[in-house]
Structures are given as C-alpha cells and as structure tokens.
Amino acid sequence: MTLDSIDKKLLFLLQSDCKKTTKEFSVKLNLSVTAVYERIKKLEREGIIDKYVVLVDRSKVEKGFVVFCHLKLIQHTKEFLTKFESEVVKLKEVLECHHVSGDYDYILKIVVKDMEAYREFLVTKLTTLEHIGSTHSTFMISEVKNTTVITI
C-alpha cells in the first residue's frame, strides 16, 4: 500500500491522540467523516495500524525504575535462541526484548519498582532462564525522549 500525504497526516494525528473522534480528524484533514473512517479502516486492514493502546505513567504505578539489560547467551544455536525468546516473552517486567548484533545478543527494557525489585527479578526470574552466559545492567537516570510517534 502506498501512503499519500493525507494518510501520513492521519497516522500522525492518530499516533498523537487516537481518542479524538473521526469528526475531529475530518476537520483537521479537510475530509468528510466517512472518508476519514474509510481511510482508518484501510490502514487497519493493511496492518499499518497494528493496535490501539494506553500509555501509562510508570512512576504512578510503581514501575518507575527502568533498566536496560544487555544479555549474552552461551551459544548462538537456533535452539538456544528460540528457547530463550519463548521464555523471556513471558516475563511481565520485560517491556521490550531486541535481538541485536555486537557484543551482546539481546537488549531488554525492564521496568520494576526499585533496585531491590530489580535484584529480585534478576535473581529469581531472569538468570534462571536457560542458556544465559552473562548480563550487564544499565539503569536509567532520566528520560530525555520517549515517543511512540513514527514520522512517515
């Protein structure tokens, strides 16, 4: 699917605040409500819009301690990678898991209440997964930029 300038602007508006009504979007895009609705449905059908979510203020739900954990596996066989990935997705503290190149195999973004909670997570959950060779944790001091908006 080729996105025209209106699709791109609509995607920006939806990413900025998807709770606005189709009518509000139609005014900003100078389109009819029906045209906006049809464009949104087309973007959903094509899989460009994956899902709608609510962003939660981590600090208000006692998940303000953010850790980036770099992780190495003991081997890089398909079996080890698949096993690790199937287990790590089950850990509710892990928001993101990225298979990366370089010195480490994976980078995890983990949120917990505090350092004590991270230690508990590390000892009782993460390091009990099979095939982990080593971990290196980096703690967030402050968040300079965090956006979910992809500019197209």
Is residue 88 domain-shared with residue 126, that is, in the same domain? yes
**Residues of the domain holding 71:** 58-139
Q: Could you tell me if 37 and 63 lie in one domain?
A: no
pLDDT digits (tens, 9 = 90+) for 126-149: 999 989 999 999 999 999 999 999
Does position 67 have pLDDT exceeding 90, yes or no?
yes
In DSSP terms, which residues pair with 132 in a beta bridge? Answer: 73
Residues 104 and 32 in one domain: no
Q: What is the pLDDT of residue 1?
A: 84
Q: Check which CATH number belongs to the domain holding 28 and give it.
A: 1.10.10
| Residue 94 in domain | yes
Q: Are residues 41 and 66 in the same domain?
A: no
- Mean of the per-residue pLDDT values for the chain? 96
Same domain flag for 86 and 28: no
Does residue 147 fall inside a structural domain?
no
Assigned domain for 31 exists: yes
pLDDT at 11: 98
Domain count, the chain: 2
pLDDT digits (tens, 9 = 90+) for 38-54: 999 999 999 999 999 99
Place of tokens 């997705």: 89
Model pLDDT for residues 9-34, shown as the tens digit of each residue: 999 999 999 999 999 999 999 999 99
| Residue 20 within a domain | yes
Question: What are 78-124's pLDDT values in tens digits?
Answer: 999 999 999 999 999 999 999 999 999 999 999 999 999 999 999 99
Indicate whether 76 pLDDT > 90: no
Do 36 and 87 lie in one domain? The reply is: no
Task: Enter the pTM of the model.
Answer: 0.90
